[in-house]
Chains A and B, each alone.
Chain A
Amino acid sequence: MTTTAQAASGNGSVLLEAQDLKKYFPVTRGILLSKVTGHIKAVDGVSFQLREGETLGIVGESGCGKTTTAKMVLMLERPTEGTIFFQGDDVYGGNEAQRKEYRSSVQAVFQDPWSSLNPRMRVKDIIAEPMVINWQLSRNEIQQRVMELLNNVGLNDYHSNLYPHEFSGGQRQRLAVARALSLNPKVIVLDEPVSALDVSIRAQIMNLLKDLQAEFGVSYILIAHHLATVRYMCHWVAVMYLGQIVELAPVKELFDNPLHPYTKALMSAALPSHPDTPQEEMILTGEVPSPLNPPEGCHFHTRCPMVMDHCAFDIPEVKEVTPGHFVSCHLY
């Protein structure tokens, strides 16, 4: 949605660009001769850009398509339509070698540090696995690099012989980060990396991620639903609702001047840092409509407090309201 304009307003060069990504999951009926009766539109036309050394946050409530977007970036799901450009190349158009190159440049850290590490492997094997698969290195070189990575994430050499269950949640998330860093990736997809952690550990992991970004110049795509995390970590924020990005802006601009009614509602639902801080109350009514059958027109019109007549049939276009601030709403 924002290709050229967003590029113009940033500093770094564009590393990864998603263009009109769509992912529809078929809903089938019947056992033997199953028939496709509909599609769940998990992601319905999402575009964004990620620049070198920056963090793009994707926020939205459960089921809005954040994780599916992440999976498409990680090539775990194939987009139904649209594509991803990495350093100018279409990642789905290239040959096997290019795809392998892309895969080793994009790594991930998942939400649950208890299920994202194989419980039957030692830490050194977990961290070494991406290198074993992608690089031809001697045992010694790998060993050395594992130690280096452990030190990078604040763990010690002796941890390498332990099993994941011997670590706490925060330490496990550090291990996951070490593994993600092992191939010197350019992009790391962080799928709610701190939401499973204790509040006291969260800050540590977020600081670690920021330090690593400063040190290695890696870009992050941060999936989150906790707005404070996003505000602290990100340079850009995309707000998703029902498979679409409704607002995209630099982090300061978005938090200071949210435009889309859904963004405003999200902001008002977050707790203020001080209980006496006056806050605009904006409570949405009703449930998120089913992605199987999303509303006509603006997807948000069924719950929007500022709904107008033509919202029900007119699909809003993306508008750049102020430089770098994109919103798709009929109000602007």
Chain B
Amino acid sequence: MADATLSAGRSRSLLPSWQTVSYVLRRWPILPLFTIFVLVVVGLLAPWISPHDPLSVDLDSRNTPPFWYQGETATKTVVQQVDKWDVEARTTQISLRDVRKDFPDREWALGDTAEVVTKPGGDSDHWLGTDQTGRDILSRIIHGARVSLLVTAVSLSSGLVVGTVLGLVAGYADQIFLRFGNHIDETIMRIVEITYAVPTILIALVIVIVFGQSFVVLLGLLAFVAWNAFPRNVRAEVLSLKTSDYVALAKVAGAGPLRVMFVHIFPGVINTILVISTLRVGQLILTEAILSFLGAGIPPPKPAWGAMVADGREYLADAWWIALFPGVCIFLVVMALNFLGDWMRDRFDPRLRQLE
């Protein structure tokens, strides 16, 4: 009794309480950051940490379940011929020909009983199982992370640069171009609005049909998805910053429009850009997955999460792991990025900063 209370007291002092843990988890984006960290590390180190070649086909071990999966065996009586139409017979009998093929190392006679594997179990060589052509799913997921990272990095950075520049120009055009500024602003914003109305997936499918499925086409499509969130938000930020008192004082001090833009306004929109980028990465990964799922994304032999889900769809009843694991990866990464983006938005909001 005394021991129990003593150890309880000690554990309370050593381990943080559940309240503390849940507070820290809610306060800081630890889980999202961890997920994204794992994604980046795995993506960068893919060739060295993946247990198998993601492309090597092994038809003998196709549809192997994950490692914890117990196989099933049944005791079957050896008969000359199994009646195909008799369900009962199929589960309890095996034909002489089949049993000789499966267990060639002993003699078989009619009426013998054999322990037959009816469902193969998982094995530790393929932790998350294999797909319908025997490729290792874990290796394909690891390499898929690399592909997702590459695609989003390229399309996001190009979209970010284009979008930010357009946003800055639209917001500050009236100071630089004076009389024409308004028209430039209007033109840019109308173009952005038009792109909002474009059904991206549909257009993507058409473009893929016209130009064929290739990596470059995909990057172009995703860059198109990435850029249009930036101009609007950056412009809004610029509009509020350019009427701020410190910008007025910079003008009083003689600062020209370019100095005001780069010294006073641009640093103020970096937070906004970061937040949008984080939220956009999730969306880009999702769009890439959708396009790959629809067969308009990354060309087939390369492992992509979306394409893996599409491949596994036909085998869902028998081999759910083919579709499930890449699906879970997409879900986790997109969720993590969204949570991180939300957290950053709250964190960088100057109105909330004072409340700490």
- A104 contacts chain B at the CB level, 8 A cutoff: yes
B248/A134 in contact, CB under 8 A? no
A116/B253 in contact, CB under 8 A? no
B259/A110 in contact, CB under 8 A? no
| Of A110, A115, A120, A129, the contact of B253 (CB 8 Å cutoff) | A129
With a CB–CB cut-off of 8 A, which chain B residues contact A112? 245
How many whole Å from B157's CB to the nearest CB in chain A? 23
Please report the total number of A residues contacting B with Cβ < 8 Å: 26
B255/A129 in contact, CB under 8 A? yes
B248/A110 in contact, CB under 8 A? yes
A100/B254 in contact, CB under 8 A? yes
| Of A110, A129, A130, the contact of B245 (CB 8 Å cutoff) | A110
Complex Cα distance A76/B247, Å?
11
| Of A108, A120, A134, the contact of B254 (CB 8 Å cutoff) | A134
A133/B254 in contact, CB under 8 A? yes
| Of B252, B268, B350, the contact of A108 (CB 8 Å cutoff) | B252
User: Counting chain B CB atoms within 10 Å of each CB, which of A75, A106, A115, A183 scores highest?
Assistant: A115
B252/A74 in contact, CB under 8 A? yes
Complex Cα distance A115/B250, Å?
12
Complex Cα distance A183/B244, Å?
22
| Of A76, A117, A119, the contact of B252 (CB 8 Å cutoff) | A76
- A231 contacts chain B at the CB level, 8 A cutoff: no
Q: Among residues 228 to 257 in chain B, which have CB atoms less than 8 Å away from a CB atom of chain A?
A: 244-246, 248-255
A120/B244 in contact, CB under 8 A? no
With a CB–CB cut-off of 8 A, which chain A residues contact B264? 118
With a CB–CB cut-off of 8 A, which chain A residues contact B16? none
How many whole Å from A103's CB to the nearest CB in chain B? 5
- A179 contacts chain B at the CB level, 8 A cutoff: yes
With a CB–CB cut-off of 8 A, which chain B residues contact A83? none
Range of interface residues on chain B? Answer: 10 to 19
Q: What are the interface flags for A229-260 relative to B under an 8 Å C-beta threshold, 1 for contact and 0 otherwise?
A: 00000000000000000000000000000000
User: Counting chain A CB atoms within 10 Å of each CB, which of B254, B263, B264, B267 scores highest?
Assistant: B254
A179/B254 in contact, CB under 8 A? no
| Of B259, B267, B268, B350, the contact of A133 (CB 8 Å cutoff) | B259
With a CB–CB cut-off of 8 A, which chain A residues contact B250? 118, 129
User: Counting chain B CB atoms within 10 Å of each CB, which of A104, A133, A134 scores highest?
Assistant: A133
Known: A118-B264, A120-B267. A130 touches B253 (CB 8 A): yes
Complex Cα distance A176/B253, Å?
12
B249/A116 in contact, CB under 8 A? yes
How many whole Å from A193's CB to the nearest CB in chain B? 12
Q: What are the interface flags for B247-279 relative to A under an 8 Å C-beta threshold, 1 for contact and 0 otherwise?
A: 011111111000100011001100000000000
A179/B249 in contact, CB under 8 A? yes
Complex Cα distance A121/B253, Å?
16
Residue of B whose beta carbon sits closest to that of A101 = B254
Residue of B whose beta carbon sits closest to that of A110 = B245
A133/B253 in contact, CB under 8 A? yes
How many whole Å from B248's CB to the nearest CB in chain A? 6
With a CB–CB cut-off of 8 A, which chain B residues contact A110? 245, 248-249
Residue of B whose beta carbon sits closest to that of A116 = B245
Q: Among residues 44 to 66 in chain A, which have CB atoms less than 8 Å away from a CB atom of chain B?
A: none
Known: A118-B264, A120-B268, A133-B259. A107 touches B245 (CB 8 A): no
How many whole Å from A167's CB to the nearest CB in chain B? 14
With a CB–CB cut-off of 8 A, which chain B residues contact A179? 249, 253
A115/B252 in contact, CB under 8 A? no
A103/B245 in contact, CB under 8 A? no
B246/A103 in contact, CB under 8 A? no
How many whole Å from B187's CB to the nearest CB in chain A? 13
Complex Cα distance A74/B267, Å?
25
User: Counting chain B CB atoms within 10 Å of each CB, which of A110, A111, A112, A183 scores highest?
Assistant: A110
Complex Cα distance A115/B251, Å?
15
B246/A115 in contact, CB under 8 A? yes
With a CB–CB cut-off of 8 A, which chain A residues contact B245? 110-112, 115-116
With a CB–CB cut-off of 8 A, which chain A residues contact B350? 119
Residue of A whose beta carbon sits closest to that of B247 = A118
Residue of A whose beta carbon sits closest to that of B259 = A133
A104/B246 in contact, CB under 8 A? no
Given contacts A116-B249, A119-B350, A133-B254, 20 further A-B contacts (CB under 8 A): A74-B248, A76-B248, A103-B253, A103-B254, A104-B253, A106-B252, A107-B252, A108-B249, A110-B245, A111-B245, A116-B245, A116-B246, A120-B267, A120-B268, A129-B250, A129-B253, A129-B255, A129-B263, A133-B255, A134-B253
The list of the 7 closest CB pairs from A to B, nearest first, reads A130-B253, A116-B245, A115-B245, A118-B246, A120-B267, A110-B245, A133-B254
What are 14 A-B contacts defined by CB distance under 8 Å?
A: A76-B251, A76-B252, A107-B252, A112-B245, A115-B244, A115-B246, A116-B246, A116-B249, A118-B264, A120-B268, A121-B263, A129-B263, A133-B253, A133-B259
